[in-house]
Structure 1
Amino acid sequence: MTTVQQPTTGPDLSWLDAVTMTQLERNPYPVYERLRREAPLAWVPVLGSYVASTAEVCREIATSPDFEAIITPAGGRTFGHPAIIGVNGDIHADLRGMVEPQLQPVEVDRWVDDLVRPIARRYLDRFEGRGHAELVAEYCEPVSVRSLGDLLGLADVPSDTLRRWFHQLSASFTNAAVDADGEFTNPEGFRPGDEAKAEIRATVDPLIDRWIAEPADTAISHWLHDGMPPGRTREREYVYPTIYVYLLGAMQEPGHGTASTLVGLFSRPEQLEEVVDDPTLLPRAIAEGMRWTSPIWSATARISTRDVTVAGVDLPAGTPVIQSYGSANHDTGHWDAPTEYDLHRPPLPHLAFGAGSHACAGIYYANQVMRIALEELLETIPNLERASGDGVEFWGWGFRGPTSLPCTWEV
């Protein structure tokens, strides 16, 4: 990512000099609320980048022909090249063409129920009769990682290992703090991701060897073969960065989206009761949960391809902008009382899955995983309650979700 110096004109944003990465990870909302009010496009020193914080500016940049995708420095350090979220042109077209066939709604509908529902039931069987569970670690994350792991072809990798990998990759990807020279302030913060990638390579390389010789009906096998001339496959080094993208973002999003939706429903008990009584409301409940706490909160970026002015800010060609979709989804210009979860708010399009040509390829798949997970949970345990009245802790700036969700029920 290009290093760009902080602008010297415009509103006084010196308060941003004191913003820390720890502050953003714990609770980014106050900083971004002020940014939306004072400077919808602003240079944030700790990130070494401009940040777009409103729905209007995020959508304008995401869909503008004057910008193209770029990966954040920490993301690039974590995934390598060519990761599907940070490339353009023919490479992006090839990678999207590689992953999208398995994610088309008509294709997902063919297998998603048979894939996800038995997994959800299996995890529910472990604690249904116990009367209590910590749902992030015991249900939401495991159902998410197991479903995607099986889809990718990693059926023999334990769910706990998949969860650990995505947490390690997340720690690396969000190790974003830089100094005034654009250098990472915590180089050791990439160690967890590096260790995870070494394990991933040791596990997946033998599978790739087998799938090259004997194609299988797994996503990674299709990525190697589909669209290639007879007798040829894509190089594994070309595919690995997108495998890492999936093992982080695609595993994290349904699990944390499910958990955030539950937390939102718990904040409105009458709405939780409505959903229990009428499961057809679940898609709407999930859409509001994704808006309320976007799992991919601020993890994608764009770079200007020419000199351009956005939100009154002159950006030279080559200027990176981080898209803060979690902030955009709390924009009071689009939603009334956006900090509140409300199943019945008008269903305006949110930005939790991004926008433009780099919008998430797995939108339909992720929504179906969340729907099935919540259907099974609320049908099996309709009297589900939070274990205490204390607030739920959320964590993360790049990726965000509840850290835990203890619940109880009568058995």
Structure 2
Amino acid sequence: MSVIELGEYGADFTANPYPYYAKLRASGPVHEVRMPDGFQFWLVVGHEEGRAALADPRLAKSPSVIGIRPPEEDVIGVHLLGADAPDHTRLRRLVAGVFTGRRTESLRPRIERLTHELADAMEPAGRADLVDAYAFPVPITVICELLGIPAADRDSFRHWSNELVAPADENSLLGAMEGLGGYLDALIEDKRAAGPADDLLSGLIAARAEDGDRLSGPELRAMAYLLLIAGHETTVNLVSNTVRNLLTHPEELAALRADPELLDGAIEESLRYDGPVETSTFRFTREPVVLGGTEIPAGQSVLVGIGALDRDPARFPDPDRFDIRRDTRGHLAFGHGIHYCLGAPLARLEGRIALRTLLDRFPRLELDPEGDPWEWVPGLLIRGVRHLPVRW
């Protein structure tokens, strides 16, 4: 099997990777690929094989199994996405006790109020960049309020987050990690000194398992880091991608406007069709692993192509059709296995409320023909556009 050079696909691959994934899938569900910088890894593009890989304990999340210690561990610490059992089990148990369904549902009135406040600010102009004016402020406000982070610091978080998910280079990535890590250390110390409070970070500081176990300082920093980045960056693109998908499929938008009961279907189909996470984070083979008839040797890096999996015609018939009435059960936008997204209920809640408010308040919402061309988020991790010009 020859190595696939992803760099040869060019900018069109970033704008629309799905035809390329389909071409790869036609010749097999697993491929060895190479990035323009020379980095090689194995890419899984078949739904059945990808779902199996996401839950396979032979595919570790910690790069220590192949002798690598990433800079992130020294600056931020080990968080859930980089931990394996039993460490992952322990960390998830501690955070799950604080990040509850009841806490998530209690945020509904605040999210509803916030979306209407943002719509009020947008309305007089008649046009806006939906990302800056709406899709970004909703989740960053929610996660910062949930964690107890002051409003004045949110612009800094956006800069750090942009560099962390799509860094310009290694120095900018390390700088963003150091900036955010230092900020979180200071915030945690302030909250320790202030004592018990109702925010999530204070809850994590106080969280204690039945055996007395609790999160250490580095673990608290790493957990707050993960919740901040994963807790808003993906939801920004869930909202903007769903709006973009609806505006580019006017018949589906008309169906949703005619029947608001299709709202959940629109969210789930957007997650399947063009979700905010294009690929998983890396996994590493502890031993040789056979996926889809292909043997991946021990010590290799593996990436599961979430976007590719959810366009597999073996799982979803006519997968390139955006259909908000589709049965989307089995999509993998939030992952699978022990690393299934802890914040999925919050992301869905924010997505539903943000979309409902937007459609109710702007019945003539459309793409702005005078807006700049879409600028896609670079890299393989996040799927979305930097800006989405709309008008009403």
> TM-score, normalised to structure 2's length?
0.88
Q: Which string of whole-angstrom CA distances, capped at 9 and with x for unpartnered residues, describes residues 223-269 of structure 1?
A: 22202589985322222233222232221111101111111111222
Answer yes or no: is 1:404 the counterpart of 2:363: no
Kept in 2, the 8 Å contact 1:168–1:193? The answer is: yes
Residue 171 of structure 2 corresponds to 191
Q: Does structure 2 conserve the Cα–Cα contact (< 8 Å) formed by 1:67 and 1:303?
A: yes
Letter in 2 for 1:399: I
Match runs of 1:143-158 below 5 Å? 143-158=138-153
Cα gap change, 1:71/1:369 in structure 2, threshold over 3 Å: closer, same or farther? farther
- Partner SS for 2:60: strand
Match of 2:185 in 1: 205
Residues 295 and 388 of structure 1: CA distance in aligned 2, closer, same or farther (over 3 Å)? same
Distance 1:164 1:279, change over 3 A: farther
* 1:31 partner letter: Y
What is the CA–CA distance in structure 2 between the aligned matches of 1:75 and 1:375, rounded to whole Å? 44
Counterparts of 2:174 and 2:191, CA distance in 1: 25
Structure 2 residue 355 is the aligned partner of structure 1 residue 374:
yes
Question: Match for 1:91 among 74, 87, 94?
Answer: 87
1:75 deviation in Å?
A: 11
Residue aligning to 1:270:
251
Cα distance change of structure 1 residues 84 and 15 upon mapping to structure 2, 3 Å threshold = closer
Q: For the residues of structure 2 that align with 1:273 and 1:31, how far apart are their CA atoms?
A: 30
Q: 1:116 aligns with which of 111, 120, 124?
A: 111
Hey, what does 1:184 align to over in structure 2? none
Instruction: Verify: 1:346 aligned to 2:327, yes or no.
Output: yes
Distance 1:392 1:64 in 2: 37
Contact 2:77 2:219 in 1 (8 A): yes
Aligned residue runs from structure 1 range 4-403, under 5 A: 11=1, 13-16=2-5, 19=8, 24-46=13-35, 47-70=39-62, 76-78=70-72, 80-109=76-105, 111-172=106-167, 189-213=169-193, 214-227=195-208, 234-388=215-369, 392-396=374-378, 397-403=380-386
Q: Distance in 1 between matches of 2:265 and 2:97?
A: 26
Q: Provide structure 1 residue ranges, at least 5 long, that are not aligned to the other structure.
A: 1-10, 173-187
The alpha carbon displacement at 1:346 in A equals: 2.5
Letter in 1 for 2:82: G
Q: Is the partner of 1:336 in helix, strand or coil?
A: coil
- Quick one: which amino acid aligns to residue 170 of structure 2? F
Percent of residue pairs identical: 26
Question: Deviations for 1:267-308, whole angstroms, at most 9, x for unmatched residues?
Answer: 222321232343332111011111111211113232333333
Q: Distance in 2 between matches of 1:234 and 1:394?
A: 37
Local SS of the residue matching 1:129: helix
Query: What is the DSSP-based 3-state SS (H/G/I as helix, E as strand, rest coil) of the residue aligned with 2:303?
Result: strand
Q: 1:29 to 1:347 in 2, by over 3 A?
A: closer
Task: Count the aligned residue pairs.
Answer: 382
Question: SS where residue 242 of structure 1 aligns?
Answer: helix
Aligned counterparts of 1:212 and 1:166: Cα–Cα separation in 2: 25
Equivalent residue letter for 2:377:
W
**Alpha-carbon distance in 2 for matches of 1:76, 1:296:** 22
Name the aligned partner's letter for residue 336 of structure 2: A
How many Å separate the matches in 1 of 2:11 and 2:83?
29
Kindly state the Cα deviation for residue 18 of structure 1 after the two structures are TM-superposed: 5.0
Change (3 A) 1:356 1:21: farther
Amino acid at match of 2:28: A
SS at 2:166 equivalent: helix
Q: Gaps spanning 5+ residues in structure 2: where?
A: none
Contact 2:279–2:307 under 8 Å retained in 1: yes
Would you say the 8 A contact 1:228–1:234 is kept in 2? no
SS in 1 for 2:276: coil
CA RMSD in angstroms, aligned pairs only: 2.8
Deviation at 1:15, TM superposition (A): 4.6
1:44 aligned counterpart, secondary structure: strand
CA distance in 1: counterparts of 2:250 and 2:363, whole angstroms: 12
